[in-house]
Amino acid sequence: MPISFEVLDKDIAGRIGRLKAGAKTVKTPLLLPVVNPHLQPVSPSEMKDLGAEGIITNAYIFSRSSEFRERALSEGLHRLLGFDGMIMTDSGSFQLSVYGDVSISNRETLEFQQAIGSDIWVPLDIPTPPDADRTRVEEELAVTMSRLREAVGLFGPDAPLAGPVQGGMYDDLREAAGREAGGLGYVFCPIGAVVPLMESYRYPELVRVVMAAKRGIPVSSCVHLFGAGHPAMFALAVAMGCDVFDSAAYALYAKDRRYLTPSGSRRVDEMAHLPCPCPVCRGHTAEELRESPELERLLSLHNLAVSLAEISSIRQAISDGILWELVDDRCRSHPRLLQAYRDLLAGSGELEPQDRVVKRRFFYRGAESGRRTEVLAYQQRIGRLETGGRVLVAMDGRVREGYDSVLFFKPPFGPYPPELRETFPIGQSEIPDWEESMVVQGCEGIRRLSAANPGSLFTIFCAPEWAGIVARELPSFEVCCDQP
């Protein structure tokens, strides 16, 4: 397929990548604003000025429009929309999920998308809703997969085809669908039918679905989260390895008088101030914005600016290796997002092999940080140390005589030998005063080190205030403290 994807940098399972489709090249993570030719508050060229490198529009709407069909066919989408960046087209699948039926075949929609000069074409997949039972999910997935096979058969391996991954709420089906799409040669895989989850804040289930699909999709493929447009969840999705988003949210929220921020949305009617550096917010007071006859358009512009800026923040966080810290920020904006973040951390063993080994820094920001991939990675690597016969873990930082090896202790990581004092993560981590959860997590490091050195006898010295917790966490260890 002449869609190609190259990973340039990464953090957690998130990537900065270069996506090429035909003659167009864009950077990921990428947000494709949704363009509806019939009701468009912001023009595609204004989107370009705001920094949008690509857009997505619905081929089905063009194919059924008396106003636009012939023009799209004769002029091509890029001229018609006045946008020379990447244009992805969706098939009629979304209409299929809303209205139950569409009067177009897989072949017809793909031929139409080709004819109007779309850069990325989507087959007519079936977005099975989350409440569907297994029989229905299997049946509909079989149809979707046969259409992906048909698409490759009709247009060959060089067509810029996207391979949607369906499978409802069944992890094994999502994984199998992702693997099969990869096997068919799809290097651009949208994860589908997640809009109902996001609309009802079912973020923990979204994490499950994305992680399941990602298990099957080759790591080298570009992953699009279909219909994900709220900037508060971009960072979380990128951490799981999603590369592309599409947003109708900027316009839908604007229609509903809602003001997006990277940490949630607000009713513009309840705002006294506009906390954003975009031209709309700097050029209007909250009251002027509310009362403007152009409110919907102005809010759309702001919402889009905020969403695109969030993508830039994520790219920068990946470059800096601090994506976990951005995820931690963003996921505190809603309890269900926080739950999803915690669920992702609970399964961070799956992300750890994809994470980078060395980062610039690690800021501890509470119990969640103790579950980060960097902690897991450290505690897995610590087992490689050979500790000899008698081992001192000086949690109180005081060296004593008579041991074959002396280790210090930095929670949440655990024990470290003096020679690792300056290396990542020990040397580059900033932690506040110790608290129970980070010490508990650090004890796991001692447990791992000891398990890897069954012949070693460990003695732990700690300050009296930690002795109870350490003794409880490590009941088979000798835990001592100097009396004051």
Residue 87 or 309 having the CB closest to Zn ion: 309
90 counts as catalytic: yes
94 interacts with, out of Zn ion, ligand GUN, none, CB within 5 to 8 A per kind: ligand GUN
Question: Could you tell me the smallest distance in angstroms from the CB atom of residue 107 to ligand GUN?
Answer: 15
Question: Could you tell me the smallest distance in angstroms from the CB atom of residue 412 to ligand GUN?
Answer: 38
Question: Could you tell me the smallest distance in angstroms from the CB atom of residue 91 to ligand GUN?
Answer: 5
Can you tell me the distance from the alpha carbon of 196 to that of 68, in angstroms, rounded to the nearest whole number? 29
Per DSSP, what are the bridge partners of residue 411?
Answer: none
Can you tell me the distance from the alpha carbon of 261 to that of 250, in angstroms, rounded to the nearest whole number? 11
Q: Which helix (H) or strand (E) holds 20?
A: strand 14-21
Residue 56 or 446 having the CB closest to ligand GUN: 56
**Residue written as tokens 């800021």?**
363
Q: Which helix (H) or strand (E) holds 10?
A: strand 3-11
Q: Hey, which bits of 36-111 come out as E strands? A: 54-58, 86-90
Residue 177 or 298 having the CB closest to ligand GUN: 177
Binding site for ligand GUN (CB under 6 A): 90-91, 93-94, 122, 125, 127, 164, 192-193, 195, 226-227
278 interacts with, out of Zn ion, ligand GUN, none, CB within 5 to 8 A per kind: Zn ion
104 interacts with, out of Zn ion, ligand GUN, none, CB within 5 to 8 A per kind: none
Question: Could you tell me the smallest distance in angstroms from the CB atom of residue 115 to ligand GUN?
Answer: 18
> Which is catalytic among the residues 90, 125, 243, 328?
90
Residue 198 or 345 having the CB closest to ligand GUN: 198
Tokens representing residue 48 in the block: 């370009």
Can you tell me the distance from the alpha carbon of 480 to that of 463, in angstroms, rounded to the nearest whole number? 9
Asked if residues 34 and 55 have their Cβ atoms less than 8 Å apart, the reply is: yes
For residue 125, count CB atoms less than 10 angstroms from its CB and return exposed for 0-12, middle for 13-18, buried for 19 or more. Answer: buried
Can you tell me the distance from the alpha carbon of 120 to that of 322, in angstroms, rounded to the nearest whole number? 31
Question: Could you tell me the smallest distance in angstroms from the CB atom of residue 227 to ligand GUN?
Answer: 3
Per DSSP, what are the bridge partners of residue 87?
Answer: 55
281 interacts with, out of Zn ion, ligand GUN, none, CB within 5 to 8 A per kind: Zn ion
Tokens representing residue 272 in the block: 């006294």
Can you tell me the distance from the alpha carbon of 308 to that of 313, in angstroms, rounded to the nearest whole number? 9
Asked if residues 52 and 43 have their Cβ atoms less than 8 Å apart, the reply is: no
Q: Are strands 362-363 and 14-21 parallel, antiparallel or unpaired?
A: unpaired
Residue 307 or 379 having the CB closest to Zn ion: 307
Burial 76-97 (b: 16+ CB within 10 A, else e): ebbebbebebbbbbbbbbbbbb
Residue 207 or 305 having the CB closest to Zn ion: 305
93 interacts with, out of ligand GUN, Zn ion, none, CB within 5 to 8 A per kind: ligand GUN
Question: Could you tell me the smallest distance in angstroms from the CB atom of residue 195 to ligand GUN?
Answer: 5
Tokens representing residue 437 in the block: 């959860």
Residue 216 or 370 having the CB closest to ligand GUN: 216
Can you tell me the distance from the alpha carbon of 65 to that of 72, in angstroms, rounded to the nearest whole number? 10
Can you tell me the distance from the alpha carbon of 407 to that of 395, in angstroms, rounded to the nearest whole number? 8
Q: Are strands 390-394 and 362-363 parallel, antiparallel or unpaired?
A: unpaired
Question: Could you tell me the smallest distance in angstroms from the CB atom of residue 170 to ligand GUN?
Answer: 15
Question: Could you tell me the smallest distance in angstroms from the CB atom of residue 144 to ligand GUN?
Answer: 9
**Residue written as tokens 């947000």?**
31
Question: Could you tell me the smallest distance in angstroms from the CB atom of residue 302 to Zn ion?
Answer: 4
Query: How many helices (H) does the chain have, and how many strands (E)?
Result: 20, 18
204 interacts with, out of ligand GUN, Zn ion, none, CB within 5 to 8 A per kind: none
Can you tell me the distance from the alpha carbon of 296 to that of 304, in angstroms, rounded to the nearest whole number? 12
Can you tell me the distance from the alpha carbon of 111 to that of 350, in angstroms, rounded to the nearest whole number? 39
Tokens representing residue 163 in the block: 């391979």
Residue 283 or 464 having the CB closest to Zn ion: 283
276 interacts with, out of ligand GUN, Zn ion, none, CB within 5 to 8 A per kind: Zn ion
Residue 245 or 408 having the CB closest to ligand GUN: 245
Binding site for Zn ion (CB under 5 A): 276, 278, 280-281, 302
Can you tell me the distance from the alpha carbon of 202 to that of 224, in angstroms, rounded to the nearest whole number? 18
- Which residue numbers are catalytic? 90
